[in-house]
Structures are given as structure tokens and as C-alpha cells.
Amino acid sequence: MPLKKPQITQVQPPAAIPGGEFQIRGSGLLGADRPRVWFGDAVAPVIVGSESMLIARVPEGAAVGPMVIESDRQRSSPWMCEIGIQVTDGLHPVANPAVDAAGTVYSTFSGSRGQKTPVSVYRIDPHMNMRPFLSDLMNTSGLAIDREGLLYVSSRLDGIIYQVTPEGEMSLYVEGMGVATGIAFDKDENLYVGDRQGTVFKISRTRQIYVFATLEQSIAAYHFAFGPDGYLYVCGPTTSSYDAVQRISPAGEVEVFYRGLGRPQGLAFDADGRLYVAASLRGRRGIVRLSPDGQEAEMFVSGPNIVGLAFAPGGLLYIATTSALYRLNAGVRGLPMANLDQ
């Protein structure tokens, strides 16, 4: 009896980082021998296997390129998969990286509470060269960039927001922000700061401070992103597997946008108004994509320990885990920072 060649008909999600899992559907996937899933020269562990479905975990060192299934000494036709490539490790981000208009990436080494680290913020150029950028800040958390290319950094230890020039010159922008975590700019360049004790502050360009909204306290941090509708989207992870992404109207009214995520963290919008959230969906960890109306959710990137994400020019997506930064060719154009043309 001739051997049946394995065929791939569907792969979900469309992308992953090492440690993430692809669900592969097709036919002839499980023969007499245990199937092998190849990403370039790297063999992936098969977690679940049947004749019509495999779940394969992306191994360290997997190359961007076609995936091939080998079963009973026959190979499937290649299937193109997008895999995130590690840019650097040795980091400790707790939220989104920040990307400027030139594609330069900023990421933090936050450390445990009260820990003073040798480097607080790193800068990674578009060629993936990493350099120390800021030192002597403790517990750096949120990052944001304004229209002029100035970087803003929150410290959850001292409640201060720092303003930093591209040359690394740092000054105090505003203080008294409590346990300052997430930060984001609106289209008018007002800065919003999340005190995880339950307050969202609004700081005008003249540095006047207002209480914009109040939320339930977060056990970790608030994560912010402004949508194309002018609403501030917020999440604050808890121990529940049914957490919500909320949104706050320009008048400060809070409502639930989507509920049903596990430990949602970093947020980012694409140019089509879809929201991407670092979270778990139905027990699978990665980056979840929500439709503009909040009615549909799907896994977009599979991977462990993801805490943040940021779109970059050229359809790139930077993904922050608890210890590393990855770059993925997502083919998605991000919503410009603060809804501004760049």
C-alpha cells in the first residue's frame, strides 16, 4: 500500500515566537512513525498528534521560512510560517517597548521593587544593535514617545515621569503619580498616567494635572493604548482567566470593551482599528487580536511570557517577554503613535 503524503491545509495562529505553538490541520499527518515538524533545520516537539491535526511547539533557533511535516519518510509541501527572531535577551520589561518614527526601539530593565539595575532603559537600532540608554532609574515601567521624539518613562517606585531627549538627557516631567505604570499620549499630546492604586491622571502640555478616571486597583500594572476612536483602552491583569479590556471615553466614562482574557497586559492598535493584547485566550498564551467592535477575538501570535508589543515601520512587530525582545514580520501597519501622522 503506498504511503500517504502529509498535506497541510491550515495553520493557526499565523505567527509564533520560540516556545509558542502552531496548530496544524491537514491529512496524512500521523503515519506509522511519529511525525516530525521542521522549521528550517530545527525539529519541533510535537505536543498532540492525529491523522488530521498536530500541535507543534516552535523550538529555540527556529528559522523564519517554510514549515514541513515529515511522516513515514514523506514530506509535505512547505507552508510559510512567521516566526519571531530574538533581538536580545537579558532584559526585564513589564510593559510595551516603544518605537520611534525611525524604527529605534526602547525597552526597559525594570527589576524587582526597589532594585537598582546598572541599566534602566536600552535602545535598539533598526539593525538590532542594542546599547544602554538610561541608568540610575529604579523600576522603570511604562514608555511613550511624543511628536518631537522625546521619550517618557514612568517609575513605579517614586511616582515620577521622566522626559528624555534622543541624546539621553533626562529631566523630571511630572511627579506625584503614585505607583506610576502605564503611560500614553492622546492626539492633543496630553499624557495619561496609570497609578495602579486606581487613578488615571491626565497631564496637559502645560503640565497641569487632572484626575481623568478611576478604576479598580491593579495587582500589577495598568497598560494603556489610545484607539482611533479617541478612547483610552486599559487593562490591568489579575489572577482571573476572565479579565477585561476596558475603555475610557474622552469624558472619563469607563466601560468594558472585551471580557474573556487571561492576564492581559501590553496593548497596541493597528491602522485598521484592531486591538492587539498580550494575553491568554482559551488557555493559550500569546498576542490576541480583537476586532474593532470588540466582538471577535483570535490568537495572532503564540508564545510564552509575553508582556508587551509595539508596531514598527515596515510591518514589523516587536514583542517583549519577561526577559527578551523579539522581532516579527507581521505584515501589519500599526496605528501611528498618539494617532499622529509620521
How is domain 85-339 classified at the CATH fold level? Neuraminidase (2.120.10)
Tell me the pLDDT band of 340, cut-offs 50, 70 and 90: very low
pLDDT in tens, 54-112: 999 999 988 787 899 998 889 999 999 899 999 999 899 999 999 999 999 999 998 77
337 falls in which pLDDT band (50, 70, 90)? low
| pTM for the whole structure | 0.94
Distance between CA 280 and CA 284 in Å, rounded?
5
Decide if pLDDT at 2 tops 50.
no
Residues 250-277 pLDDT 10s: 999 999 999 999 999 999 999 999 999 9
What's the pLDDT score for residue 341? 41
Percentage of the chain surpassing pLDDT 70?
97
CB atoms within 10 A of CB 42: 15
Q: If one looks up domain 7-83 in CATH, what number appears?
A: 2.60.40.10
Q: Which residue has the higher pLDDT, 134 or 72?
A: 134
Give the Cα separation of 168 and 160 in Å (integer).
17
According to the model, what pLDDT value does residue 110 have? 87
| Domain ranges, ordered by start, for the chain | 7-83, 85-339
**Reduced to 3 states, what is the DSSP secondary structure of residue 287?**
strand
- Integer-rounded Cα Rg, in Å, for the chain is 21
